[in-house]
Amino acid sequence: MDPPLINETSFSAANPSSYTLNEIWPFPPPPPSSTRLGLRMDNLADPDGSLEESTLTDQSSGNGTRIRKTRDFSSEKDDSSKMVSTTTSANDLNDSNGKRRKISGSRSENNDSRAETEASSAANNKKAEQSSKPSELPKQDYIHVRARRGQATDSHSLAERARREKISERMNILQDLVPGCNKVIGKALVLDEIINYIQSLQCQVEFLSMKLEAVNSRMNTSPMTEHLHPKDLGAQPFVATGMISGPQPTREYVQGSQSEWLHMQVGGSFERAT
Amino acid sequence: MTSKHVRATRHTKFIKNRFASRFLRSHLRMKRSDRFGGSQSNEGVRKRSTHRIKIAAYASMALAVGPSRTWSRALLFKLRNRARLQGVLRKRCLVSKKNKKKRVVRNKVIISREPSRTDTLRKLVPGGDSMDICCLLEETAHYIKCLATQVKVMQTIADQLLL
């Protein structure tokens, strides 16, 4: 078994071109190859993965037409695959690419960084052209923002627009949660409704704890006088629902809870003791 | 969309069950301690036990949600630390009354502006002081959901006990 294995390995090491060509073709991420044919096949098969290798070999060889073809191909592939191109920024990007191709030695980084997306994709292209690091930015870093006609495309405006969209989306979620909030128009009024709803819920919790306490005391103290207490309990809900409308009770709770925390502490120690 | 909805309802059911079991347990514990501690139906005692039930409800809610949410974390932190802080503050108040005047003067320096709606919301949602508006709205949504669940469960328990 051993001799044929040694022969094969020595053979493949002796003339790598034929073997590597055949092996490269089916696999998308190919090993680095110095031959021109393997390079073109890499571009056809997987332009994103082998982008830096191809540009590297191209720069070393220095063939003009082929460089342009491969770079055009790669940039188009980048744009279409990531889908982050506003209509204006895409044109700008192509223009800047053309300029860079003409210069191709020293690239100035002044004219880009107009939009967030454009900047990131241009940075990606730059990296690929410089071919210093095989780093392709992960797709989760992009925020999909699409500028309509007449909207500003600088990075601050885009970020602000994204933030506003986020806020309005959450406001919609909140509107669905709070009952009777769908008909209210305007963010301030919606916020008012939300605040009122939270306060009413907290008051309800307080009232229910009162009710539970009443039930407890009734069950503890006198199981005989059960018939008297439902009237008291019937009187309590009215008071509590009257409290719900105003914003005062919760503030009272916030302030008053500090003085009552001592009791909680005592209770906690007692529970720990038992 | 439907799978999300199903997951959300499942999540709320899960929280509901956990909250109910925790709250019932603490409630039982409280009842037992009351029974042993003697039960006078004073106004003060009643208020105290009401407050304890409320605190137990909030604590069990926050525990049921777990530390994944900011508001539950803040609530638990508050509940754990306030008892300790209260003891410290009480000692300080007993020890020194001279410093109190200085403190009052310092507090007057702070300019109080009209609180906006967002500030009110921040006060209502636990842990809302240190959040930006996006996070605040998200936490508010979750908090509202949990509060509604809490109210429902407590209502059910009260009704069952009354019957």
Q: Write the DSSP string, A144-163.
A: -----TT---SHHHHHHHHH
Of the candidates A93, A104, A95, A52, the one whose C-alpha atom is nearest the C-alpha of residue A74 is A52
Structure tokens at A203: 């008051």
Structure tokens at B4: 């999300």
pLDDT along chain A (274 residues), means of 10: 44 45 50 45 44 41 43 44 41 44 42 42 45 48 67 84 90 86 83 90 90 78 43 38 38 39 40 40
Interchain contact, A215 vs B161, CB within 8 Å: yes
Of the candidates B44, B45, B20, the one whose C-alpha atom is nearest the C-alpha of residue B34 is B45
For the whole prediction, is pTM greater than 0.95?
no
Whether residue B148 is predicted with pLDDT greater than 70 in this model: the reply is yes
Closest chain B residue by Cα to residue A258? B86
**How far, in Å, CA of A204 to CA of B148, rounded?**
10
- Name residue, tokens 């082929």: A66
Indicate the residue of A191, A199, A210 with minimum beta-carbon distance to B50.
A210
Interchain contact, A221 vs B41, CB within 8 Å: yes
Indicate the residue of A167, A177, A208 with minimum beta-carbon distance to B151.
A208
Structure tokens at B139: 């936490």
Per residue in B74-85, pLDDT tens?
A: 888 888 887 777
> How far away is chain A from the Cα of B14, in angstroms, using its nearest Cα?
19
> How far away is chain A from the Cα of B110, in angstroms, using its nearest Cα?
19
A chain contacts of residue B35, beta-carbon cutoff 8 Å: 220
B chain contacts of residue A210, beta-carbon cutoff 8 Å: 50
Indicate the residue of B117, B134, B143 with minimum beta-carbon distance to A167.
B134
Stated length of chain A: 274
- Residue A255 burial (C-beta neighbours within 10 Å; 0-12, 13-18, 19+): exposed
